[in-house]
């Protein structure tokens, strides 16, 4: 419950980042964290609401008031337990979650909300520091086996939950290292990979079998997969959205993920063949797409020493504050400035890219125009129109497409299994996360479409609940 009058006594204090000058010279995490006494004060601001909206704001249903209070009372170990009771991987969400809990915080009605995410991160970091996080192998084994495909946040959550329920879990990952998006999609300056490694170590010691470099549906056949008592597909939504405009075929235009993955591998010590290299060093970089991935590209490009960086977003610049249309406690679409934006680069909104052009097959510029959107039509779609006379050109040596993802890759696994798809190309599932193939479940972006890590973990946990129920007839795993 924090301190009864804490919210009246203390202001919100976010932990802040390392200075820009310093941080852009390395790839280490930029989050600073707060010293214990100041963090406790932040915990003290929690009002222990009768209806904690933060707790619904969080897809995982994190029991935020409980651990806020425990931190305030210095009960770190119990806080860790409370945190783990709804979230397998707080070290991930504590770093990269956009924290929809915070706009839902009741204190946000009239003041700044509690800095929930920093508290979460502090708890889990402390847990690792103190050595409190130990393998928790199941007491008994059920004799059932489960295959999980994909080692991103959803797959890891499914695996850990089901293993703890006593099932023998084998996790297949087509990449050379485990972690999926966590490993290769998120820059180290936001999530150092040691965080992923130590969690994987714990899981391995708990008894989960990891099979990297295995593409399910090819290296392990569909028939082999189906010999498991249950299968959970958690391969993510990895098919990127492309921008099919003239000049797209030019060199120097890449999907954001390819760019980011390479940098992560480089940091991990891999040697990237020169012909494959995508680097921003000394280049004029244009990032298309104003979302988080775009921001990740921006931070990476700056660290690589780009000459200049531009980021274009199709949609108009959002308001700086909540409007009537996005009242508390919804997650508002407001202007967000991520850490990367502090580091440099130029942002533009309402920009539609019409074409790329280049020399010698290498992109050198792009042609764009400003757009505006009308009021929503009968289908709720706001029609876009170009604003005559606003056409402009932007020089670019490297263009990164951070336009989001369409849906999962269908081959070879989904098609091989014959899993039915939904209208958006995702694996269609019923209420219990089961696909059209009996015994085959899906979780995370693979069934939900691209989303947040926190949703992936939540989806994985929920799928695990249903898989356990499917296997055992009943389950004690939380939804």
Partner 1 sequence: MTSRGLPPKQGLYDPHFERDACGIGFVASIKGRRSHDIIEKGLQVLINLTHRGACGCDPETGDGAGILLQIPHEFFRRECAKIGIELPEPGAYGVGMLFVPVEHPRRLRSEGIVEQIIREEGQAVLGWRDVPVDNSVLGFVAKASQPFITQVFIGRAPGLDQPEFERQLYIIRKRIEAMANSAGMEEARSLYVPSMSSITVVYKGLLIATQITRFYRDLSDPAVVSALALVHQRFSTNTFPTWELAHPYRYLAHNGEINTLRGNVNWMKARESVLASPLFGDDIRKLFPIVAAGGSDSANLDNAVELLVQTGRSLPHAMMMLIPEAWSGNPHMKPEKRAFYEYHASLMEPWDGPAAIAFTDGRLIGATLDRNGLRPARYLVTHDDLAVMASETGVLPIRPEEVRYKGRLQPGKMFLVDTQEGRIIDDKELKARMAARRPYTEWLREHQITLEALPEPPRVHPPDHETLVHRQRAFGYTAEDLKFIMAPMAARGEEPLGSMGTDTPLAVLSDKPQPLFNYFKQLFAQVTNPPVDHIREEMVMSLTSFIGNERNILAEEPKHCHLLKLPHPILTNRDLEKLRNLSRGDFLATTLPALFRANGSGRPMAEALEELCARASDAVRRGFSLIVLSDRGINDERAPIPSLLALSTVHHHLIRQCQRTQVALVAESGEPREVMHYALLIGYGASAINPYLAIETLTDVVNRGLLPPEITPEKAVRNYIKAVNKGLLKVFSKMGISTLQSYRGAQIFEAIGLNSALVERYFTGTPSRIEGVGLDEIASEARRRHEQAFRPLSQAETDLEAGGQYQWRRDGEYHLFNPDTITRLQQAARGNNAETFRQYSRLVDEQNERLCTLRGLLKFKSNGAAVPLEEVQPAAEIVKRFATGAMSFGSISREAHETLAIAMNRIGARSNTGEGGEEEERFLPDANGDSRRSSVKQVASGRFGVTSHYLVNADELQIKIAQGAKPGEGGQLPGHKVDETIARVRCSVPGVGLISPPPHHDIYSIEDLAQLIFDLKNVNPRARISVKLVAEVGVGTVAAGVAKAHADVVLISGHDGGTGASPLTSMKHSGAPWELGLAETQQVLVMNDLRGRIIVQVDGKLQTARDVVIAALLGAEEFGFATAPLVVSGCVMMRKCHLNTCPAGIATQDPVLRKKFAGKPEYLVNFFFLLAEEVRRLMAELGYRRFEEMVGRIDRLEMREAIEHWKARGLEFSSILYNPIVPQRCARRKVREQDHGLERALDNKLIEMARPALEGHGGVQIRMPIRNVHRTVGAMLGGEISRRYGSRGLPDGSIRCHFSGSGGQSFGAFAVNGMELTLEGDANDYVGKGISGGRLVIYPPRDSTFAPEENIIIGNTCLYGATGGEVYVNGKAGERFAVRNSGATAVVEGLGDHGCEYMTRGVVAVLGKTGRNFGAGMSGGIAFVLDEVGDFRRRRVNPAMVEVEPVAAGEDQELLRELIGKHLHYTRSPRADFLLRRWEQTLPSFVKVMPHEYRRVLASRIADFGLRISSEPSAKPAVAVAAPQSAFRNPQSALAKGAADG
Report the nearest approach of partner 1 to the CB of residue 27 (Å): 32
Contacts of residue 442, defined as CB under 8 A and 6 or more positions apart, other chains included, come to 232, 233, 234, 419, 427, 429, 433, 435, 463
Query: 81 vs 215, which CB is nearer to partner 1?
Result: 81
In terms of Cβ atoms closer than 10 Å to its own Cβ (0-12, 13-18, 19+), residue 438 is exposed
Residue 460 CB coordination number (10 Å):
30
The one among 15, 61, 187, 236 contacting partner 1 by CB under 8 A? 61
Place of tokens 């989904």: 414
The one among 46, 63, 71, 101 contacting partner 1 by CB under 8 A? 63
Q: Can you tell me the distance from the alpha carbon of 187 to that of 255, in angstroms, rounded to the nearest whole number?
A: 15
Report the nearest approach of partner 1 to the CB of residue 209 (Å): 19
At residue 194's C-alpha, the angle toward residues 409 and 139, to 5°, is 85
At residue 146's C-alpha, the angle toward residues 140 and 148, to 5°, is 130
Binding residues for partner 1, total number by CB under 8 A: 45
Is 249 a binding residue for partner 1 by CB under 8 A? The answer is no
Task: Identify which range of 2-10, 303-311, 388-396, 459-467 contacts partner 1 by CB under 8 A.
Answer: 2-10
Is 139 a binding residue for partner 1 by CB under 8 A? The answer is yes
The one among 15, 43, 52, 127 contacting partner 1 by CB under 8 A? 52
Query: 5 vs 281, which CB is nearer to partner 1?
Result: 5
Could you tell me the CA-to-CA distances from 139 to 78, 206, 250, 469 in Å, in that order?
Answer: 22, 11, 57, 18
Nearest to 84 by CA among 124, 39, 44, 40: 124
Report the nearest approach of partner 1 to the CB of residue 289 (Å): 31
Which DSSP string corresponds to 151-163?
A: -SHHHHHHHHHHH
Q: Can you tell me the distance from the alpha carbon of 213 to that of 456, in angstroms, rounded to the nearest whole number?
A: 22
Query: 3 vs 433, which CB is nearer to partner 1?
Result: 3
Is 84 a binding residue for partner 1 by CB under 8 A? The answer is yes
Task: Identify which range of 134-142, 197-205, 311-319, 405-413 contacts partner 1 by CB under 8 A.
Answer: 134-142
Report the nearest approach of partner 1 to the CB of residue 147 (Å): 21
Is 278 a binding residue for partner 1 by CB under 8 A? The answer is no
Give residues 6-45 in contact with partner 1 (rule: CB under 8 A): 7-8
Query: 169 vs 181, which CB is nearer to partner 1?
Result: 169
Is 323 a binding residue for partner 1 by CB under 8 A? The answer is no
The one among 19, 56, 194, 420 contacting partner 1 by CB under 8 A? 56
Which DSSP string corresponds to 364-423?
A: EEEEEEEEEE----TTS---EEE-TT--EEEE-SEEEE---EEE---TTHHHHHT--B-T
Enter the DSSP assignment of 165. Answer: T
Is 469 a binding residue for partner 1 by CB under 8 A? The answer is no
Is the distance from CB of 202 to CB of 134 less than 8 angstroms? yes
Query: 330 vs 432, which CB is nearer to partner 1?
Result: 330
Report the nearest approach of partner 1 to the CB of residue 188 (Å): 28
Report whether the peptide linkage leading into residue 329 is cis, meaning its omega lies within 30 degrees of zero. yes
Report the nearest approach of partner 1 to the CB of residue 454 (Å): 14
Query: 142 vs 338, which CB is nearer to partner 1?
Result: 142
Helix (H, G, I), strand (E, B) or coil at 239: strand
Query: 148 vs 400, which CB is nearer to partner 1?
Result: 148
Report the nearest approach of partner 1 to the CB of residue 87 (Å): 10
Q: Residue 400 phi/psi, 5° resolution?
A: -110, 125
Report the nearest approach of partner 1 to the CB of residue 221 (Å): 33
At residue 183's C-alpha, the angle toward residues 148 and 253, to 5°, is 115
Report the nearest approach of partner 1 to the CB of residue 160 (Å): 9
At residue 25's C-alpha, the angle toward residues 22 and 28, to 5°, is 85
Report the nearest approach of partner 1 to the CB of residue 37 (Å): 17
The one among 15, 65, 103, 187 contacting partner 1 by CB under 8 A? 65
Give me the sign of the Cα torsion angle 438, 206, 189, 14.
Answer: positive
The one among 131, 269, 327, 389 contacting partner 1 by CB under 8 A? 327
Is 123 a binding residue for partner 1 by CB under 8 A? The answer is no
Q: Which residues bind partner 1 (CB under 8 A)?
A: 4-5, 7-8, 47-53, 55-56, 61, 63, 65-66, 73-75, 78, 81-82, 84-85, 104, 106-107, 109-110, 136, 138-140, 164-166, 324, 327-330, 476, 478-479
């Amino acid at each position: 419950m924090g301190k009864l009058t804490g919210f009246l006594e203390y202001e919100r204090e976010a932990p802040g980042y390392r200075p820009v000058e310093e941080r852009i010279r390395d790839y280490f995490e930029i989050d600073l964290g707060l010293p214990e006494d100041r963090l406790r004060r932040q915990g003290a601001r929690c009002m222990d609401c009768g209806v904690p909206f933060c707790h619904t704001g969080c897809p995982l249903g994190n029991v935020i008031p409980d651990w806020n209070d425990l931190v305030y009372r210095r009960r770190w170990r119990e806080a860790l337990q409370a945190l783990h009771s709804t979230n397998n991987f707080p070290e991930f969400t504590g770093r990269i979650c956009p924290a929809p809990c915070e706009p839902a915080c009741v204190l946000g009605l009239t003041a700044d909300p509690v800095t929930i995410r920093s508290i979460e991160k502090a708890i889990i970091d402390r847990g690792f520091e103190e050595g409190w996080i130990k393998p928790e192998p199941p007491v008994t084994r059920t004799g059932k086996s489960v295959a999980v495909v994909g080692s991103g946040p959803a797959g890891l959550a499914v695996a850990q939950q089901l293993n703890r329920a006593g099932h023998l879990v084998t996790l297949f990952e087509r990449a050379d290292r485990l972690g999926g998006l966590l490993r290769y999609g998120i820059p180290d300056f936001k999530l150092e990979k040691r965080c992923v490694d130590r969690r994987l170590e714990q899981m391995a010691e708990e008894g989960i079998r990891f099979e990297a470099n295995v593409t399910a549906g090819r290296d392990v056949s569909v028939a082999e997969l189906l010999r498991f008592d249950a299968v959970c597909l958690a391969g993510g939504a990895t098919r990127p959205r492309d921008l099919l405009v003239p000049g797209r075929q030019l060199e120097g235009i890449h999907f954001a993920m390819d760019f980011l993955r390479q940098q992560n591998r480089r940091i991990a010590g891999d040697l990237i063949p020169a012909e494959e290299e995508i680097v921003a060093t000394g280049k004029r970089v244009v990032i298309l797409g104003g979302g988080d991935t775009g921001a990740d590209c921006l931070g990476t490009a700056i660290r690589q020493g780009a000459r200049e960086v531009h980021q274009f977003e199709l949609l108009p610049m959002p308001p700086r504050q909540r409007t009537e249309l996005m009242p508390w406690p919804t997650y508002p679409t407001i202007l967000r400035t991520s850490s990367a934006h502090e580091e440099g680069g130029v942002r533009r909104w309402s920009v539609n890219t019409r074409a790329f052009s280049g020399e010698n097959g290498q992109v050198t510029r792009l042609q764009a125009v400003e757009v505006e959107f009308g009021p929503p039509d009968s289908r709720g779609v706001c029609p876009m129109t170009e604003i005559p006379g606003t056409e402009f050109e932007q020089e670019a040596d490297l263009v990164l497409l951070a336009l989001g993802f369409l849906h999962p890759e269908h081959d070879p696994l989904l098609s091989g299994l014959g899993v039915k798809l939904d209208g958006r190309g995702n694996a269609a599932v019923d209420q219990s996360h089961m696909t059209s193939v009996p015994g085959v479940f899906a979780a995370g972006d693979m069934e939900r479409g691209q989303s947040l890590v926190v949703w992936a973990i939540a989806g994985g946990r929920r799928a695990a609940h249903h898989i356990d129920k499917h296997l055992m007839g009943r389950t004690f795993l939380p939804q």
